[in-house]
Amino acid sequence: MVSKATYYMNIATVSGWLWDMYNCVLKGFSNSSPYQLEYLEVILLHGLFCMNSFFLSVCLDVSAQEQPELFLKKLQQCCFLFDFLDTLSDLKMKEYKRSTLNELVDYVTLSRGYLTEQTYPEVVKMVSCNIFRTLPPSDSNEFDPEEDEPTLEASWPHLQLIYEFFIRFLESQEFQPSVAKKYIDQKFVLQLLELFDSEDPRERDCLKTVLHRIYGKFLGLRAFIRKQINNIFLCFVYETEHFSGVAELLEILGSIINGFALPLKAEHKQFLVKVLLPLHTVRSLSLFHAQLAYCIVQFLEKDPTFILFQLLSKGFSLVMFLGELEEILDVIEPTQFVKIQELLFKQIARCVSSPHFQVAERALYYWNNEYIMSLIEENSSVILPIMFASLYRISKEHWNPAISALIYNVLKAFMEMNSALFDELAANYKSDRQRERKKDKERDDLWRKLEELELRRGIQNSDGIIPT
C-alpha cells in the first residue's frame, strides 16, 4: 500500500509535470493560432489548478521534511496571472488560486523551518510576478482625489493575499536579511516605490507596511530608500504635482525621522529644507497635510530652533503657517517649548498685529487651545512681556471689531494668569506712551519754533533787499 506522504508527493510531481507541460506548450506552439493557444492553455491550467487545489489543501498534513518541497511547488504555481478585467473568465481557476494563496498565508504563519535558502528566490519571484505591473492611467486628466472616487484594483482578491503573505514572510522570526538581500535589492525597492502611485488606497496601505518592514530589516537599503523617496517628492513638487502615495510615504518618513541621531546630519537638514518644506506649496496639500505636519513635528523635537527658523523664512502663507504651528505645539514637550518660546511668540506678536484679520484671528485662536494655554501659563513671565505691547495697542486701534473682542479675551486671560506682572506691564506701557507723547510734543514744538525762526529770517531778508 502506498503511504500517505508518497501519495501526496506523487500528486505534487504530477502537478509539476503539468506546469512544465504548460511552459512547453507556450514555447512549442508559438506559431499556432491564438484560438488554439488559448484552448491548450485553458485545458492545462485547469488541470494544473485543480490538481493544485487538492495538493495545497493537504500541505500541512505531510511530514515536516516534505513540507518545504511542497511549499516551493505552491509558490511556482501561484506565478500564473489571471485577467480580472474579464469578470466571467476562469472563475474556477481564480478561486483555486485564491484558496491557494490563503493556504500560503496560513503556512508561513503557522509553520517553522520552511525558510530554506532555496525559498527566498521563489518567494520574491512569486511576489514580483503578481504585484509588479504597469499601473493604469487615471480615467481623466482632471482627476481630483478629494472629489472623485479612486479606481480600485480589479485583481485585489489575489493582490491582497499576496501582500499579506509577503508581510508575514518579512515578519517571520526565521527571516534572514543576509540571505534575502540577494533578491530584495535596489531594483526590487524601486519597483515597489513606483506602485505607491496606485489609486487604490488598500494597496498603498499594504505597500506602506511592506516598505516599512524592508527599511527596518535591510540596513544597506536605507539610504537608497530615502534618496528615492526624495526623488519622488521633488518630481511631484516641481514637475507633475501628481502622485497618489505622498501621504503614505510621508507616514513612513515620520517614523524614519524619529530615528535620526543628534545632532542632525547635513543630509537630513537638507531633506527638510529642499524636500519637506516645498511640499507646502503644492495645490493638493490638504490630502497629506496631517502626515507632513507630523514629519515637521519629528524634526522640531530634534532641533526646534533650526526648524522654526526655516518655517519662518520660507514665505509660506501665514494662515497656513499658524495652522501647522498649532499642530506642532499640540504635541511638543514642555522642555522643548521653553527652547523656542521667545522666537515663537515674537512671530505670533507680529501676526496678532497684522492688518489682515484672518492672520490676526488665526493667531489669537491659540488661546482657545487648552494645551497651548497650559504652556503659556507655565511660561507667562517670558511670554507676557513679548505679547503685551502688541495686544494692548491693537485692542485700541484694530479696524475689525471681532479682532478687538478676541484681543480683550486674551488680555483678560493674561491678567488672570499673572495679575502682578500684567499690572506692572500695563503701568510701564502707559508711562512709555506718556513719554512718547511728551517726546512727540517736544518734537512738534521744536519744529514749530524752527518754522517760526525760518519765517522771521525770511521776512528780515525780504525787508533788507535793495531794489535794482
Same domain, 219 and 129: no
**Both 367 and 427 in a single domain?**
yes
**Same domain? 108 vs 232:** no
* Same domain as 202, residue 109: no
Ramachandran category for residue 80: left, alpha or beta (phi over 0 → left; psi -120 to 50 → alpha): beta
Are 242 and 203 in a shared domain?
yes
Q: Is 315 left (phi over 0), alpha (psi -120 to 50) or beta?
A: left
59 and 163 belong to one structural domain: yes
Q: Among 282, 311, 330, which residue terminates a domain?
A: 282
Q: Cα dist. 341→207, 334, 373, 449 in Å? A: 39, 10, 13, 47
- Assigned domain for 300 exists: no
Amino acid present at 236: F
Residues 245 and 127 in one domain: no
Q: Which amino acid appears at position 325 of this protein?
A: L
Which residue's C-alpha cell is 537638507? Answer: 270
> Which residue, 282, 298, 320, sits at the end of a domain?
282
- How many residues are listed for the chain in this entry? 468
Give residue 139's pLDDT.
57
Residue-wise burial string across 65-101, b where 16 or more C-beta atoms lie within 10 A, e elsewhere: ebbbebbbbbbbbbebebebeeeeebeebbebbebbb
| Residue 399: C-alpha distances to residues 117, 127, 141 (Å) | 75, 64, 45
Instruction: Count other C-beta atoms under 10 Å from residue 11's C-beta.
Output: 18
pLDDT computed for residue 11 by the predictor: 46
H-type alpha helices, 195-333 = 201-217, 222-235, 246-258, 266-271, 289-302, 304-313, 318-331
Residue 200, φ and ψ in degrees, nearest 5: -80, 110
Return the H-helix or E-strand segment holding 345. helix 334-352
Question: Which of these, 345, 359, 263, 261, lies nearest to 306 by C-alpha position?
Answer: 263
CA–CA separation, 296 vs 272, rounded Å? 8
* Cα-only R_g, the chain: 35
- Does residue 219 lie within any of the structural domains? yes
Amino acid 163: pLDDT: 97
| Residue at 296 is within a domain | no
Q: Is residue 336 part of a domain?
A: no
Asked if 366 and 410 touch (Cβ cutoff 8 Å), the reply is: no
Q: Residue 464 falls within a domain, yes or no?
A: no
DSSP-derived secondary structure letter, 272: I
Shared domain check, 233 and 172: no
Q: Note whether residue 110 is domain-resident.
A: yes
Residue 12 CB burial class (10 angstroms; 0-12, 13-18, ≥19): buried
- List Cβ neighbours of 404 (8 Å cut-off, separation of 6 or more): 394, 395, 398
> Could you tell me if residue 406 is inside a domain?
yes
- HEC-encoded secondary structure of 136-162: CCCCCCCCCCCCCCCCCCCCHHHHHHH
Compute φ and ψ for 78, nearest 5 degrees. Answer: -85, 5
Same domain membership, residue 276 and residue 365: no
pLDDT of the chain, 468 residues: tens digit per residue:
334 444 444 444 445 555 555 555 545 545 555 444 454 454 455 455 545 444 444 455 666 677 788 888 889 989 988 887 777 777 888 888 998 899 899 988 887 877 889 999 999 999 999 999 998 876 555 556 666 678 888 889 999 999 999 999 999 999 999 999 999 999 999 999 999 999 999 999 999 999 999 999 999 999 999 999 999 999 999 998 889 999 999 999 999 998 888 888 888 888 988 888 888 888 888 889 888 888 887 887 777 667 666 665 555 567 877 887 887 787 677 887 887 888 889 888 988 888 888 888 999 999 999 999 999 999 999 999 999 988 988 888 777 888 888 999 999 999 999 889 988 888 888 877 777 777 777 787 778 877 877 777 777 776 555 444
Asked if residue 248 and residue 121 are part of one domain, the reply reads no
Number of compact structural domains in the chain: 3
What is the residue type of 111?
S
Distance between CA atoms of residues 181 and 140, nearest Å: 39
Domain boundary at 252, 282, 312, which?
282
Residue 325 falls inside a structural domain: no
Q: What's the start-to-end Cα distance of the chain, in Å?
A: 149
Host domain of residue 400:
355-457
259 in helix, strand or coil? coil
Helices marked H in 58-176: 67-77, 91-110, 119-131, 156-171
Helix%, strand%, coil% for the chain, nearest 5? 75, 0, 25
Q: How far apart are CA 429 and CA 395, in angstroms?
A: 13
Q: Are residues 407 and 430 in the same domain?
A: yes
Cell numbers found for residue 414: 493674561
pTM: 0.68
Whether residue 114 is found in the same domain as residue 204: no
Rounded distance, CA 4 to CA 11, Å?
11
